[in-house]
Amino acid sequence: MRKNIVAGNWKMNKNLKEAKDLIKGIKKGVSSKKSKGKRVIVAPSFVNLNSAVKRTEKSIIEVAAQNMHEAKSGAFTGEVSADMLSEIGIEIVILGHSERRSIFAESNELLAKKVDTALANNLEVIFCFGESLEDRKSEKHFEVVETQLRESLFHLLKENFSNIILAYEPVWAIGTGETASPEQAQEMHAFIRQVLEKEYNKELADSVSILYGGSVKPANAEEIFSKPDVDGGLIGGASLKPKDFLAIVEAI
Ligand code: PGA
Pick the residue whose CA is nearest to atom 6 on ligand 1: 236
Q: How high is the pLDDT of residue 39?
A: 95
* Minimum-distance ligand 1 atom for the alpha carbon of 237: 4
pTM above 0.85, yes or no: yes
Q: Can you tell me the distance from the alpha carbon of 94 to that of 189, in angstroms, rounded to the nearest whole number?
A: 19
Q: What is the pLDDT of residues 7-48, one digit of tens each?
A: 999 999 999 999 999 999 999 998 766 777 899 999 999 999
CA of 10 to the centre of ligand 1 (A): 9
CB atoms within 10 A of CB 7: 23
| Helix (H) or strand (E) run with residue 232 in it | strand 232-235
Q: How high is the pLDDT of residue 177?
A: 75
List residues near ligand 1 (CB under 6 A): 9, 169, 174-175, 213-216, 234-238
Q: What is the pLDDT of residues 110-153, one digit of tens each?
A: 999 999 999 999 999 999 999 999 999 899 999 999 999 999 99
Q: What is the pLDDT of residues 220-247, one digit of tens each?
A: 999 999 999 999 999 999 999 999 999 9
Q: With 90 as the cut, is the pLDDT of residue 210 above it?
A: yes
Residue 11 gets which letter from DSSP?
A: T
Question: What sections of the chain are H helices per DSSP?
Answer: 16-29, 49-55, 82-87, 98-103, 108-120, 133-137, 141-153, 182-199, 202-207, 218-225, 242-251
Strands 38-43 and 4-9: parallel
Q: Can you tell me the distance from the alpha carbon of 34 to that of 91, in angstroms, rounded to the nearest whole number?
A: 23
* Minimum-distance ligand 1 atom for the alpha carbon of 175: 5
Contacts of 176 (CB under 8 A, 6+ apart): 214, 215
CB atoms within 10 A of CB 202: 12
Burial 24-50 (b: 16+ CB within 10 A, else e): eebbebbeeeebeebbbbbbbbbebbb
Pick the residue whose CA is nearest to atom 9 on ligand 1: 236
* Minimum-distance ligand 1 atom for the alpha carbon of 167: 9
Q: What is the pLDDT of residues 85-117, one digit of tens each?
A: 999 999 999 999 999 999 999 999 999 999 999
Q: Can you tell me the distance from the alpha carbon of 218 to that of 248, in angstroms, rounded to the nearest whole number?
A: 5
Residues classed as catalytic: 97, 169
Cα first-last separation, the chain: 16
Please report, as a single letter, which amino acid is at residue 159.
Answer: E
Instruction: Tell me the percentage of the chain whose pLDDT exceeds 90.
Output: 90
Q: Burial level of 79, CB count in 10 A (0-12/13-18/19+)?
A: middle
**CA distances for 150 relative to 145, 153, 198, angstroms:** 9, 6, 11
